[in-house]
Amino acid sequence: MRAVEWILQPLHKIYLAEDSGDIKKMWVYRSIVRSSPSRHAIARTVQWTRHLCDAQKLSQTQPNIILMGSPGCGKTTVGRILGERLQLPVLDVDDHHLEPYWGVSVAQKLSEVGSEGFVAAEGEALKAFCPQRSVISLTGSNPMHAEAMEHISKTGRVYFMDVHKSDILERLERMKVSRIVGQNDGTSMAEILDFRQQFYERWYDERIICERLESPENVADKVLACIAKHQNPKAKGYESTRGFNLECSTFNDALLQGLAPDDGLVVPRAAVPFFTLGQLDRLIELSYPERVLRVLERWIPCNEICPSRLREMIHAAYGGAVFQDAAVCPVRPLTGSDGQFLQELFHGPTASFKDFALQLMPRMFLNAASECTEKHKYLILVATSGDTGGAVLDGFSRVTEKAGSHSPGVLVLYPRDGISSIQRDQMVFYHGNRARVIGVEGADFDACQTMVKKIFQNVDINKTLLDKYQVKLSAANSISWGRLLPQVAYHVSSYLDLVKKKVIAMGNQIDLCIPTGNFGNILAAYYAKEMGVPIKRLVCASNSNNVLTDFLSSGCYDITKRRLKQTVSPAIDILVSSNLERLLHYVTNRECAIVREAFEQLRDNKVFSVPKQVAESLHGMFSAGWATDEDCKAAIKTTREKSNYLLDTHTGIAKSVADRFQGDRPMVIVATAHPAKFAHDILASFGRQINHRTPVDLIRGIADEAAVPGLHEALLKTLSSADDKPKLTCENNIGHVLKQVTDLARCL
């Protein structure tokens, strides 16, 4: 057959021709016609079509495909298409079960029992329905009956067809639908749909986000891709960036586990999930927690954390008053700097972006621990140079109240003389039965980190803790998959905000500029880009510890001649940027050998280079620049003068670098901390007196310097109550630290 005829074939015919050998060509042709002819688009379409063929092949072993959604969402039509493509029977609950079961029409039943009685009658009937290997379209009101849904959802996977409300209303109007429960009770259709949303949200396994006015064929394609994903063994579980096969590993394992056994980092095997622009468009009107849910449910398999549980965790983390701004992570235009915007990630309880990961991660951690068959307690051991400690302590303190005796203990080590009094007081505030904060005398951050690593690696210590106290050690550092994933969501969100504010049209590209240390935040941005968010360039901003600037421009990571410099942006004073390993994993197309070789070189010789194509591919996505302390302070000063806005010392680095890379596209500068956290250096740079001022006085001083972002109330509250907390210290000696660990383990 000629290529052009191939392209015009409906999908189900293509499956039948699969063995003809022409199918490969076909994939490519289709992609050229369907999408813009970029390499990326072709690859995606090839992958997509292949999925569809797999789905058809494997459908023989497939349990029921259950379509759920409101009346008018297209379940019946999509069900018919799926049945045809998969060659499975199609059962419509209304026509094929309820009417024969009752012996009367649905409309008649509704008029007999009324809206009140209908849901119960329908539920009872559904409980007697035991289909197999079929495509099933539920009724719009089935999900309102819990017992019936328990029953039917066990027979297969429930796909929620999430269609925009106005599309549904328009369709119902056109179809002149009359048999909807509640319809004739004087309630408007819009209200009925709003009320029902909660039931759909409760029961789905997979949400199919439908684009506005999307054709049923396209929606069916999306369901098929989803089915194929579940059936592809290569898309399940996690692997190490260095190639170690983590057999049967689950999201929960990935959460509880730090490094992989070969010292690599844990990454999912599946391809990065993808949103079309039409799907992103559907997320614009959502609140932040709902956007997070849409992003995370694409990454976390529904059989590991079911979406309704995930939703609860997300709302507990970002809803309520935990974050001080109603928008959680608002994006503001930076007046006086054309085309620049700040995404404020410091409204959380400890005033840095680390709260985004650490308000959610402990909830997922606890959920994972509770599902673990071996019952033991956890002790989270953290070394911090400042921001991580507070965020871990706060995040876990909030789940501790609920979890009671199962809740993990947290022990934080910090260099006693290496952090500011503000950071110290912020941490000791959390000191209590399950949290211990210890300043190590005469140690720098590296020394604390080394002690933590030694304790983790010591088999005897771990065995004693487990045997004697049933305590297992765990980490919460930024290489943990559970910390990385929640960060992807705010990068998706900033783009949506710019579209919502009409700064850009959906599909226009933006740039992001991120102050970078361990490469977690910017890697999350890379994931957002891979998920389909139109981000053009990721600008990596470093301070004078600029090893990443050199690496991203030359492909050579070299720390042979470097010594760590202390700067006014301590959270990015880092020479070994751990999460870079995950990036290399992706840009080498998962060539574990290259990644292993590189990081073993780094360990042994303190230098590695990546192959030329890899370096070029990095060039295509990343820009990198660095700024000195002086540049940073100048950026803070200028921004205060021009915009009456006070940047923190990390965002100051980003601003300074962003100014050099600013082009025609909007640039979102990611504001990683509130300036109050770094009050000493900022006030000193303005020539203010800082000696003998208490932490509370200093952060009030910051609020006086500029109108925005104002006083951080939560930080003020924490610091005001930290005075009477003990400030434990211990000698720079592993024996002493170990004694603290055992003491805490005993108390858990």
Minimum distance of ligand PLP from residue 719's CB (angstroms): 17
Residue of the chain from 518, 542, 643, 685 that contacts ligand PLP (CB under 6 A): 518
- Could you give the strand order of the β-sheet that contains 266-268, starting from the edge strand earlier in sequence? 245-246, 238-240, 266-268
Please pick, from the candidates 387, 497, 573, 681, the single residue that binds ligand PLP as defined by CB under 6 A.
Answer: 387
Which residue, among 400, 409, 413, 401, has the nearest Cα to 471 in the 3D structure?
Answer: 409
Three-state SS for 476? coil
Identify residues 536-565 at the interface with ligand PLP (CB under 6 A): none
Q: Which is nearer to ligand PLP, 17 or 684 (CB)?
A: 684
Site string for ligand PLP, 294-333 (x = CB under 6 A): ----------------------------------------
- SS3 label, residue 726: coil
Q: Please name which of 335, 391, 404 lies closest in space to residue 362, comparing C-alpha atoms.
A: 391
Is 672 one of the binding residues for ligand PLP (CB under 6 A)?
Answer: yes
Question: What are 160's two structure tokens?
Answer: 């929620």
Residue 397 sits in the site that holds ligand PLP (CB under 6 A): no
- Tokens encoding 21: 């050998």
- Is the link from the previous residue into 695 a cis peptide, with omega within 30 of 0? no
Nearer to ligand PLP, 31 or 578 (CB): 578
Piece in contact with ligand PLP (CB under 6 A), picked from 86-94, 109-117, 184-192, 517-525: 517-525
Task: Identify each DSSP E strand in 69-190 by its residue range.
Answer: 90-92, 135-137, 156-162
**Shortest Cβ 725–ligand PLP spacing (Å):** 22
480 contacts ligand PLP (rule: CB under 6 A): no
Query: Of 625, 714, 607, 646, whose CA–CA distance to 348 is shortest?
Result: 714
Cβ atoms of 575 and 547 closer than 8 Å: yes
Looking at the Cβ atoms of 408 and 517, the one nearer to ligand PLP is 517
Q: Does 409 bind ligand PLP (CB under 6 A)?
A: no
Q: Does 359 bind ligand PLP (CB under 6 A)?
A: no
Cα–Cα distances in angstroms (integers) from residue 356 to residues 7, 141, 217, 228, in the given order: 45, 36, 38, 32
Least distance to ligand PLP, CB of residue 426, Å? 12
Sheet holding 622-626, edge to edge: 331-333, 340-344, 667-671, 510-515, 535-542, 622-626
Residues 6+ apart with CB under 8 A from 600: none
Q: Specify the DSSP class assigned to residue 334.
A: -
**What minimum distance in Å lies between the beta carbon of 445 and ligand PLP?**
12
Up-side HSE of residue 138: CA atoms within 13 Å toward CB?
34
What's the closest the beta carbon of residue 359 comes to ligand PLP, in angstroms?
A: 15
CB closer to ligand PLP out of 518 and 588: 518
Tell me the two tokens of residue 394. Answer: 């706060």
Report whether 531 contacts 492 (CB < 8 A): yes
> Do residues 423 and 677 lie in contact, with contact meaning Cβ atoms separated by under 8 Å?
yes
User: Cα(475)–Cα(452) distance, rounded to whole angstroms?
Assistant: 9
Nearer to ligand PLP, 11 or 583 (CB): 583
Q: For residue 276, report the phi and psi dihedrals to the nearest 5 degrees.
A: -75, 165
CA pair distance 358, 81, nearest whole angstrom: 43
Nearer to ligand PLP, 86 or 653 (CB): 653
Stretch that binds ligand PLP, among 421-429, 437-445, 509-517, 694-702 (CB under 6 A): 509-517
Site string for ligand PLP, 55-74 (x = CB under 6 A): --------------------
Nearer to ligand PLP, 131 or 675 (CB): 675
**One residue of 31, 494, 521, 643 binding ligand PLP per CB under 6 A:** 521
Q: Rounded to whole angstroms, how far apart are CA atoms 73 and 210? A: 9
Among 156, 216, 515, 625, binds ligand PLP (CB under 6 A): 515
- Alpha-carbon gap, residue 496 to 600, rounded angstroms: 40
Least separation in angstroms between CB 540 and ligand PLP? 9
Q: Which of 260, 381, 572, 647 binds ligand PLP (CB under 6 A)?
A: 572
Q: Which of 226/699 has CB closer to ligand PLP?
A: 699
CB of 742 to ligand PLP, least distance (A): 30
Residue from 477, 478, 567, 662 in contact with ligand PLP (CB under 6 A): 478
Cβ at position 518, least distance to ligand PLP in Å: 3
Q: Which is nearer to ligand PLP, 413 or 572 (CB)?
A: 572
The distance of closest approach from Cβ of residue 89 to ligand PLP in the complex, given in angstroms and rounded to an integer, is 51
The least distance separating ligand PLP from the CB of residue 547, rounded to whole angstroms, comes to 13
**Angle of the 75-86 helix axis to the 216-231 helix axis, nearest 10:** 50
> Measured between alpha carbons, how far is 703 from 504 in angstroms, rounded to an integer?
32
Q: DSSP string of 195-226? A: HHHHHHHHH-SEEEEPPTT--HHHHHHHHHHH
CA distance 29 to 35: 10
Out of 141, 516, 546, 685, the only residue in the binding site for ligand PLP (CB under 6 A) is 516
Q: Can you tell me which of 350, 352, 384, 549 binds ligand PLP, judged by CB under 6 A? A: 352
Residue 349 binds ligand PLP, judged by CB under 6 A: no
Give per-residue burial for 33-50: e unless 16+ CB within 10 Å, then b: eeeeeeeeebebbbebbe
Q: Exactly one of 571, 595, 636, 748 binds ligand PLP (CB under 6 A); which one?
A: 571
* Residue 185 tokens, joined: 């009770």
Please tell me the count of residues contacting ligand PLP according to CB under 6 A: 16
CA 279 → CA 70, 407, 466, 530, 537, distances in Å?
A: 18, 38, 47, 14, 22
For ligand PLP, the closer of residues 224 and 559 by Cβ is: 559
Nearest distance in Å: CB 38, ligand PLP: 29
Q: Please name the residue that has the structure tokens 């005001």.
A: 720
Query: Of 138-146, 469-477, 511-519, 548-556, which part binds ligand PLP (CB under 6 A)?
Result: 511-519
Out of 650, 655, 680, 712, name the contact with ligand PLP by CB under 6 A: 650
Q: How far is the CB of 429 from ligand PLP (least distance, A)?
A: 18
Residue appearing with tokens 């962003």: 658
- Give Cα 402 distance to the centre of its chain: 24
Determine what percent of the chain falls in helix, strand and coil, rounding each to the nearest 5. 55, 15, 35
Q: Is 520 in the site for ligand PLP (CB under 6 A)?
A: yes
Which of these ranges, 42-50, 158-166, 453-461, 515-523, lies near ligand PLP under the rule CB under 6 A?
Answer: 515-523
| 354 near ligand PLP, judged by CB under 6 A | yes
Candidates 81-89, 256-264, 286-294, 516-524; binding stretch for ligand PLP (CB under 6 A)? 516-524
| Cα gap 629→627, rounded to integer Å | 7
If you ran DSSP here, which 8-state letter would residue 271 be given?
Answer: P
Residue closer to ligand PLP by CB (options 521, 545) is 521
Q: How far is the CB of 346 from ligand PLP (least distance, A)?
A: 8
Q: Does 643 bind ligand PLP (CB under 6 A)?
A: no
Work out whether 567 is an interface residue with ligand PLP (CB under 6 A).
Answer: no
Distance (Å, rounded) from C-alpha 717 to C-alpha 349? 10
Decide whether 515 or 701 has the Cβ nearer to ligand PLP. 515
- Residues near ligand PLP, by CB under 6 A: 352, 354, 387, 478, 515-521, 571-572, 650, 672-673
